[in-house]
Amino acid sequence: MDGWRVCGAVLYDELVEKILSWLPVKYLIRFKCMCKSWNSLMAWVTLVGETLDNMTFQISKDQIHLKLYVSLKSHNDKRLGGPIEMGTWMHDIIWRETNVKCKVWESGRGADWFLENGGNTVFIKGLILAKGGGEAICGCTKKPDEVRRLTLLTGEGGPKNKFFYHLGRSLVAMIF
Amino acid sequence: MAEETESTKTEPLKTAEEEFKKLEITEEEESELKLETSDHVTFMVEASIAMKFGAVQQYLEVSPAASASATAIPLHNVASRELILILEYYRMHDWVDAGERDLKEFDERFLKDLNYEELKELLLAANYLNVEKLFNFLTKSIANIIRNKDVEFVRTFFGIDNDYTPEEEAAYREENAWAGVKFV
């Protein structure tokens, strides 16, 4: 099926993706049960909890642009480019500094990641960001029986690692 | 609105004097492009606005002669009704004096005047014309509409058939219930 028929007007997959890309993740989870093609469209949205209210994604066929909302303590860190106003999109900062684009890895490819911060563990599942050969993370879960050992892949130095740091930090800040 | 007068085809001029006057005016005004919609209505559109349309740009790249000549640029997937709305939107957003508040009010009113069906058709037209600003505005607006709606509403909105069996759907909801997701 190429698209969804709307009384003569067809909204293509592409357009539906664009519309959905404005919505926070929790809405996407709800809409996954719309029909099977929506489910596969959003296959990458795996397990996310309420903590991810402040994350949105820009979806396209092989890329996801991640936006993180800085809602907690991390808003006054020089390493994030100086004081950041409450409510600044992490997205802007990350992108300004490193211009990282995210890549979707298909589920079932062993793409589960974690991040440790002083004994706290953030569980990350399903999605991997990539720039060159490097990988990072997005998406996470607090569900206890979904716990996996964490692994964070870092590539060969450069802005990429800085990006990991920022991303990891803000995830931790959001959850703990 | 001005669009309607422009949408009518060029009227035959009555006198040479009138023609002369018209020439004078067009010389002072900025150049215009002729656009033809799928229902064969011709629009004269300011080049500054028409050039914002990706489809027009693309057409002119392929046949540059069309910008100077009287040839109309065909817009196969856009009906006159949609083009009028698109032009209205772009003229407002192009207007130098329009403040942020004016634009916000305009956007709200613009959206209010559209029913869901028109909204979808406009989105398709905007997608075909490749007009980024309006496209983003529309997708965002639709996202806002469906945001707090239940699954059934969104199914109807997009005309989606539910291809899950009731058991599958129930199982899916169960599976994701822990995440605090309300399916309504």
Q: CB-hemisphere CA count at 13 Å for B124? A: 23
Min Cα separation B79/chain A (Å): 13
- CATH for the B32-152 domain, from 3.30.360.10, 2.60.370.10, 3.30.710.10, 3.40.50.970: 3.30.710.10
Q: How many CB atoms lie within 10 A of CB B33?
A: 23
Quick one: tokens of B96?
């130098």
Q: Is A106 helix (H, G, I), strand (E, B) or coil?
A: coil
Q: How many CB atoms lie within 10 A of CB A119?
A: 5
Average pLDDT over residues B81-86: 93
How far the first Cα of chain A sits from its last, in Å, is: 43
Higher pLDDT, A118 or B23: B23
- Domain-by-domain residue ranges, chain B? 32-152
Predicted confidence at residue B85, as pLDDT, reads 94
Interface confidence, given as ipTM, is 0.71
Taking the CA atoms of B19, B25, B27 and B33 in sequence, report the sign of the dihedral they define: negative
Could you tell me what percent of chain B has a pLDDT over 90? Answer: 26
Query: Does A22 contact chain B (CB < 8 Å)?
Result: yes
Most distant pair of Cα atoms in chain A: their distance: 57
Residue numbers in A near B120 (CB within 8 A) = 6, 9, 11
Lowest average pLDDT, out of B14-23, B92-101, B143-152, goes to B14-23
pTM score over 0.95 = no
Residue numbers in B near A27 (CB within 8 A) = 147
Q: Which residues of B touch A (CB under 8 A)?
A: 117, 120-121, 123-124, 127, 135, 139-140, 142-144, 146-147, 151, 154-155, 158-164, 169, 172-173, 176, 178-183
Residue numbers in B near A21 (CB within 8 A) = 139, 143
Return mean pLDDT, chain B.
79
pLDDT per position as a tens digit, B145-169: 988 888 888 888 888 888 888 888 8
Min Cα separation B3/chain A (Å): 25
Residue appearing with tokens 């035959």: B12
Min Cα separation A44/chain B (Å): 14
